[in-house]
Chain A
Amino acid sequence: MPVEVKGGQDVRSFVRTLVKEQGSEKAELIPILHEINRELGYISDEAIQELSDRMHIPTSHIFSVATFYRMLSTEPRGRHVIQFCESAPCHVAGGRQVWQSLQKELGLENGETSADEKWTLITTSCLGVCGIGPVVIIDHDIYGNVTPEQVPELLKNYD
């Protein structure tokens, strides 16, 4: 399925433009993957193929990098990505109950995307906002001091 990106470009010409702008040095690989992930929501096979042609890096290497880092995804994700911090500071502050509430409310397990492609639920390591744990991040919005009861309310803000 062809995915349309910025300005009606197809994925391949989008990747070509990126490489032209940022250069084809290997050090640019991760910044470019970041851009692709931001634009497409994930890094598609087509994007990896094009990147490999343009940067002269084997697809296997690009795939291994894209799957190594948590912020990059090689699978399509839902319209809204919910990240739940599962590190110790949030855990101690009552995070476990919030996590259970999230799973129940969405009917999703860790790493799953809902059938209507609305939600993706993932756990993440510390996000550096531990002063207000437990922390839930939906897309780019950070919610702190979350209680299990608040979870349905939070989810209502997104459509």
Chain B
Amino acid sequence: MKAIRSMVLVSGDQVSLNHGALDVFNALQQQLTAFGLEEEITVSMVNDVNKPGLDPLVLVYPDAVIYGSVTPEDVPHIVEEHLYKGRVVAEKQISPYDLTGRIAWLSARKGTLPAEHRIVLKNVGLIDPENIDDYILHEGYEGLGKILREMTPEETINQIKASGLRGRGGAGFPTGLKWQFVAGAKGDKKYVICNADESEPGTFKDRLVLEGDPHAIIEAMMIAAYSVGADEGFVYIRGEYQLAINRMKKAVEQAEAYGLLGENIFGTDFSFKLHIHAGAGAYICGEETALIESIEGNRGEPRPRPPYPTTSGLWKKPTLVNNVETLANIPALIRNGAAWYKAIGTPSSPGTKVYTILGNVNVTGLIEVPMGITLREVISIYAKGMKDGHNFKLAQTGGSSGSIIPASLQDTPMDFDSFSKAGVSLGSGALLICNEEVCAVDLAKVLLNFFRFESCGKCNPCRIGNRRSYEILCNITEGVGTEQDLKDLQMMADQLYQLSNCGLGQTAGSPLRDILAHFRAEVEAHIKLKVCPAGVCPMSGHRAFEID
């Protein structure tokens, strides 16, 4: 694609067309050619800008300036002043705030924070998710076109490998390697699955991608399918995300109508069919083999591994399972190349990461920043500090299965390797930031309560271990814990990790391990002094559970 420096959009809805939008469009093209700018500035019609009274509108990006209403006579002046000389024509400019709905993107872009780098969320809030044309206008399906025309599956996989992209679901497995495994697996039928069963507490990044940029997921899945040799795919979306399910279904219909999904795409041998599958409410289905069981119409109980889904997955066929955020990186990565991608983030964890900021801070929300930013930076820059002048005590990363991170680790770069060296995990990217009024034992109790309910019950360490750990924590918070409980909790943490069948059980013990490692004094205060230093726990002195 040519390098362009500006993009000019003309509103092309019916009202604008009635008011001469086409003449404005033609005049723009003519003037740009006259100034010799046709190579560096593009003009396009967009649908449904919908601002009666001021149409037709002319929008100039990246400056995010809107002119209205524009007549063909205004065009030479606008082109000469703004596009040629770079001076905004103030008298024709209108405020972005006059526009509603789809042009909300302007204020969204203005709010972009320093150092934010949007790849995954690039289009979210900027384009109309229910309009495939809008996605295509924003370089959509360009990556797919590129690989189908110019690249072999091997070359595509090599690009992904060279980029260093790692899975964003929590484990950080190299994506290119996973693709290679599936591509190399024997079998004439293969599947691609998008894991959109986003159930980690505090994580809602995938929901925003599905709701805001559904076609990016379709494009990425097709690139993946082409690379690994699959012709059918599933998007498994958690049942609670009704809007995301509707938007994805609509996006699939539109892509099918355009011939982007279906048989012999772009006149090649490549065909792809995509199904949208709604979950029914089970955290465990985020585990890839449980997710596969669920698609097959079973209880979402994880399978023993190996065999891994890459060799025997959905209906025992080789299956590629990728997280939404991982896939959302793919179209941009293919368009811009591996070198571009690798330059962002840290050497061991290239790219960006989407974090959800929650808890006792001034500003909660969603950011996408290069890998390697520290917790201190997140709190001070993006979260605008702790609320009400309180101090930072701990952060819980990555939903329930992440880690409890003490203040002493707040300068550790947040990337896969730095975190694993520090003995903590990045998880899904939720950052629950807590002040000193939060009790570490109480927090662990809430997390274990979660695991106790969400354990599928298939294997004993997880089913019994989570329940027992929760009961012990309850007793400690009631002020009736014993020193034996400390040893038992450590044992539970170890055994959950060592003996559980799947990732849920293996990570369920991490809150226990973390509070014993980083907040041992606080736990001991509950047991030996019968005091909750944060003043949260009931400490009633009544045993909640009898434990033999």
Contact = CB atoms under 8 A, between A and B. Distances in A.
B365 A125 contact: no
Interface residues on A, range: 35 or more
A88 interface: yes
Interface string B300-320: 100000000000000000000
Interface string B178-198: 000000000000000000001
A72 to B, nearest CB: 6
Contact of B201 (A72, A87, A131): A87
Interface in A98-130: 124-130
B296 interface: yes
Contact of B204 (A28, A57, A131): A131
B207 A128 contact: yes
Interface in B205-248: 207, 238-242
Interface string B351-372: 0000010111000111000000
Given A88-B400, A130-B201, A65 B299 contact: yes
Nearest to A66: B280
B294 A30 contact: yes
B299 A64 contact: yes
Contact of B278 (A25, A29, A31, A88): A31
B233 to A, nearest CB: 14
Contacts of A69: 239, 279-282, 300
B240 to A, nearest CB: 6
B282 A26 contact: no
B55 interface: no
Interface residues of B, number: 49
Interface stretch (B86-94, B445-453, B462-470): B445-453
Nearest to A91: B446
B11 interface: no
A29 B279 CA distance: 11
A125 B450 contact: yes
A88 B432 contact: yes
A113 B542 CA distance: 29
A133 B449 CA distance: 18
Nearest to B444: A88
Contacts of B204: 128-131
Interface in B423-473: 430, 432, 434, 438, 443, 446-447, 449-450, 453-454, 456
A68 B400 contact: no
B104 to A, nearest CB: 17
Contact of B297 (A30, A87, A92): A30
B163 interface: no
Given A28-B297, A87-B400, A88-B446, 4 more contacts: A31-B277, A69-B282, A93-B359, A130-B358
Q: Which are the 10 A-B pairs with shortest beta-carbon distances?
A: A70-B281, A87-B201, A69-B280, A71-B281, A126-B201, A29-B297, A26-B297, A128-B204, A68-B299, A89-B202
Interface of B: 198-204, 207, 238-242, 277-283, 294-300, 356, 358-360, 364-366, 396, 399-400, 430, 432, 434, 438, 443, 446-447, 449-450, 453-454, 456
7 contacts: A26-B296, A30-B280, A68-B282, A89-B202, A92-B438, A130-B358, A130-B364
